[in-house]
A and B are shown apart, each in its own frame.
Chain A
Amino acid sequence: MIWNSASDFFAMGGYGLYVWGSYGVTAAWMLLEPVLAARRHRAAMVAVAELQEQGDNT
Chain B
Amino acid sequence: MKPLPRLFAFAAPKSFYRLATLTIPWLYGLALLLSAWGLYTGFFVAPTDATQGDSYRIIFVHVPAAWMSMVLYMAMAGWAAFGWAANARLASMMARAIAPTGAAFTFLALWTGAFWGKPTWGAWWVWDARLTSELILLFLYLGFMALVEAIDDTRRADHAGALLAIVGAVNVPIIYFSVRWWNTLHQGASISMTAAPKMASTMLMAMLLMALAFWAYAFAVVFSRARAIVLEREAGSEWVQAMALKNAGVSNDLE
Contact = CB atoms under 8 A, between A and B. Distances in A.
A45 B250 CA distance: 14
Contacts of B108: 25-26, 29
Interface size bracket, B side: 35 or more
A12 B61 contact: no
A41 B227 contact: yes
Given A41-B224, A52-B241, A23 B61 contact: yes
Interface in A21-51: 21-23, 25-26, 29-30, 33-34, 37-38, 40-41, 43-45, 47-49, 51
A45 B61 contact: no
Contacts, number: 103
Contacts of A29: 104, 108
Contact of B115 (A21, A47, A48): A21
Nearest to A23: B61
Given A40-B228, A44-B231, A19 B244 contact: no
B14 interface: no
B111 A14 contact: no
Interface SS of chain B: helix, strand, loop or mixed? helix
Interface size bracket, A side: 20 to 34
Interface stretch (B82-90, B191-199, B232-240): B232-240
Given A15-B54, A34-B224, 12 more contacts: A13-B48, A15-B57, A18-B55, A18-B118, A23-B58, A34-B28, A41-B228, A44-B231, A48-B235, A48-B241, A49-B244, A51-B236
Interface of B: 28, 43-44, 47-48, 53-55, 57-58, 61-62, 65, 100-101, 104, 108, 111-112, 115-116, 118-119, 217, 220-221, 224-225, 227-229, 231-232, 235-236, 240-241, 243-245, 247-248
Interface of A: 1-3, 9, 12-15, 17-19, 21-23, 25-26, 29-30, 33-34, 37-38, 40-41, 43-45, 47-49, 51-52, 55
